[in-house]
Amino acid sequence: MTTDMPYAEVIGDPIAHSKSPLIHKFWLERLTIEADYRACRVTPSELPGYIEQRSADPAWRGCNVTIPHKIAMLDLVDDPGGVREKIGAMNTIVRQKDGSLIGTNTDAAGFLAPIADGDWSGKHALVIGAGGAARAVLFALKQAGIGKITMVARSGLKATGLLMQASIKGSVLPMDARLPEADLLINASPLGMTGQPALEIDLDPLPSDALVYDLVYAPLETKLLRAAKKRDLAVVDGLDMLIGQAALAFELFFGTTPPMEQDAELRKLLVAR
């Protein structure tokens, strides 16, 4: 497909559930930018062909990348920022004027933004899950000076590999282990997402000033967040990260910052869909 109007996309398989088109179109409309943002289903076998075809299209500004392509993308585009070594997953591809493609990761900064006011230096975090999102979370927490991370994962091997890659002091627990005391708990697994089993964990070991952060954004209030609120713990839901990572990508695609002062309205729209 070649069009004159600039456009960006989100690609993945499946992709119909993605809220990215809603977010980017909201900002494009508010800024009266004549451009489009679409969801495009791309299967793993189609990925190399998709990249080759889009890199030849000057109207294509780039794409956001979701499951299952975040790691495969590392081998298909340029990596001037060293994302492979630092995080090991790409979620944003930007086309340069000469047709070359640069990959980056906006999940890490998007994750950190809602908790950036906190002092995480030397603190203990629990991270549930050891996939693409967990990679970005570990990188961000390292940047924030975290002292120690306990990974809770069904694959101990994967979790240990992530801790080693991020060079963070920590340990790994199985999913059914009793949680240790910690300052921050992050769900970076799909558990609790619509269509997935709930995340069944006992929050009792967390102190009263702990923060619980669920990356899941559909539904917005997961069983985990409900349990945390019941204990009066501070909570962050997945929409803040979703909007934060999208804002960084938007700037890379369309060369201007989105109107973040309209976040409250955007959140309402996203919750309603």
CA 7 – CA 117 distance, rounded (Å): 34
Q: 233 or 242, CB closer to ligand NAP? A: 242
Q: What is the DSSP code (8-state) at residue 7?
A: E
Among 72, 76, 155, 269, binds ligand NAP (CB under 6 A): 155
| Residue whose tokens read 């369309």 | 254
Binding to ligand NAP by residue 107, rule CB under 6 A?
Answer: yes
Binding to ligand NAP by residue 153, rule CB under 6 A?
Answer: yes
Among 118, 156, 161, 190, binds ligand NAP (CB under 6 A): 190
Q: 59 or 179, CB closer to ligand NAP? A: 179
User: Amino acid identity, residue 242?
Assistant: L
Which H/E stretch holds residue 25? Answer: helix 20-30
CA 222 – CA 7 distance, rounded (Å): 33
Among 241, 248, 249, 252, binds ligand NAP (CB under 6 A): 241
Binding to ligand NAP by residue 131, rule CB under 6 A?
Answer: yes
Half-sphere CA count of 16, side-chain side, radius 13 A: 0
CA 258 – CA 256 distance, rounded (Å): 6
User: Amino acid identity, residue 129?
Assistant: G
Number of residues that bind ligand NAP (CB under 6 A): 26
Q: 154 or 229, CB closer to ligand NAP? A: 154
Q: Is 202 left (phi over 0), alpha (psi -120 to 50) or beta?
A: beta
Question: With CB under 6 A as the contact rule, which of the stretches 79-87, 201-209, 241-249, 254-262 interacts with ligand NAP?
Answer: 241-249
Binding to ligand NAP by residue 217, rule CB under 6 A?
Answer: yes
Q: 6 or 227, CB closer to ligand NAP? A: 227
Among 31, 40, 175, 220, binds ligand NAP (CB under 6 A): 175
Is 138:168 a contact under the CB 8 Å cutoff? yes
Q: 6 or 111, CB closer to ligand NAP? A: 111
Three-state secondary structure call for residue 123: coil
Three-state secondary structure call for residue 118: coil
Enumerate long-range contacts of 264-272, CB under 8 Å, 24 or more apart: 266/23, 266/26, 266/27, 267/239, 267/243, 269/22, 269/26, 270/19, 270/22, 270/23, 270/217, 270/239, 270/242, 270/243, 271/220, 271/239
Least distance CB 173 / ligand NAP (angstroms): 12
Three-state secondary structure call for residue 101: strand
Least distance CB 130 / ligand NAP (angstroms): 4
Q: 6 or 86, CB closer to ligand NAP? A: 86
Among 101, 127, 191, 236, binds ligand NAP (CB under 6 A): 191
Least distance CB 215 / ligand NAP (angstroms): 4
Binding to ligand NAP by residue 26, rule CB under 6 A?
Answer: no
Known catalytic residues are: 70
Q: What residues line the site for ligand NAP (CB under 6 A)?
A: 67, 107, 110, 129-134, 153-155, 158, 175, 188-191, 193, 215-217, 238, 241-242, 245
